[in-house]
Amino acid sequence: MKNQSAALEQVKEIINTVKKNTLKEVLNINTTKKKTSLYDSKFGGVPYLPKCDKLPINKNGQQLRLLSQINFGDLPQNSFLPKDGILQFYVNDIYDRDLDNPTKQNDFRVVYYENIDLSIKEEDVINKIDDFESWDEDEDFPVQVEYKLEFEFAKEGISMQDYNFDKLFCDEYNKSFTNSIDEDMMYEICDEEDEKRDDCPQHKIGGYPFFTQDDPRVHDKHLRTFDALLLQIDTQEDEDDEGIVWGDCGVCNFFINSEDLKNKDFSNVLFNWDCC
């Protein structure tokens, strides 16, 4: 028992070393349930739309609905995101998506407005929505209430769910040990990470992703060009049973190539969500 406990601590120490060696900027997102303005960073709610723009539509011609809006002017100082403009994420039926091509923006859309027209009123946008009253009745939409977002800058090391983690861990482990890794120990540590998520939803921009299943980039090498986490929205259960729901305790991720992000090109984005 004593030897097993010592081995577990050694494995944790190696994980901490890997995390220290992979620090990356992250903006952690805190949510407040409240009515937002047209220009606020938010989950749900009414999106900003320029006068000549319409809501994006899916392959069937149905309007997509705002999942999240990020006003870059709201963000703390960082080195990896644009300084100005509004970035929007739209979805509709999250169960109707192209699993064979998760980058094809038919049933989701990512839209960037670099220049913002402050003369637009919420009423102008609502008049462009086909059936605005039905939004409150749509129980399948993942964001059930409107949240205003606030951001905290931090740095974090790689998550154990990121597809790069296994190789980085094995390389570090092999520097010190020749015996094989006890998989039960790894599962125990993974369970500890899951418990931290249960205590605090992991909404974020940047940093490293979390998954309830597998990193989709494990199975498709073509997806590994999407090396930057553009947005992660976790399940969030509120006291009144309203909140954010991705199936059964799931999580949603949007990824982008870091060069595309630098160039403010949001035309090629990987959308993924999974649940338990």
Query: What is the tens place of the pLDDT at every residue in 87-109?
Result: 999 998 888 778 788 999 999 99
Taking the C-alpha atoms of residue 176 and residue 15, their distance in angstroms, rounded to an integer, is: 13
State residue 185's pLDDT score.
Answer: 66
> Contact at 8 Å (CB) between 210 and 201?
no
State residue 183's pLDDT score.
Answer: 61
The SS3 of residue 26 is strand
Residue 1 has pLDDT above 50, yes or no: no
State residue 103's pLDDT score.
Answer: 94
Lowest mean pLDDT among 151-160, 242-251, 261-270: 242-251
Taking the C-alpha atoms of residue 254 and residue 246, their distance in angstroms, rounded to an integer, is: 14
Q: Mean per-residue pLDDT for 55-76?
A: 95
The per-residue pLDDT for range 218-259, each reduced to its tens digit, is 989 999 999 999 999 999 988 776 799 998 889 999 999 999
**pLDDT top residue among 178 and 66:** 66
Query: Which residues, listed in sequence order, are joined to residue 216 by a DSSP beta bridge?
Result: none
Q: Which of 9-13, 15-19, 129-133, 204-208 has the highest mean pLDDT?
A: 204-208
Which phi and psi (to 5°) does residue 64 adopt?
-85, 160
Which domains occur in the chain, in start order? 24-156+201-274 (2.30.320.10)
Q: Mean per-residue pLDDT for 104-133?
A: 95
Taking the C-alpha atoms of residue 190 and residue 153, their distance in angstroms, rounded to an integer, is: 25
**pLDDT top residue among 33 and 4:** 33
DSSP 29: E
> Contact at 8 Å (CB) between 234 and 210?
yes
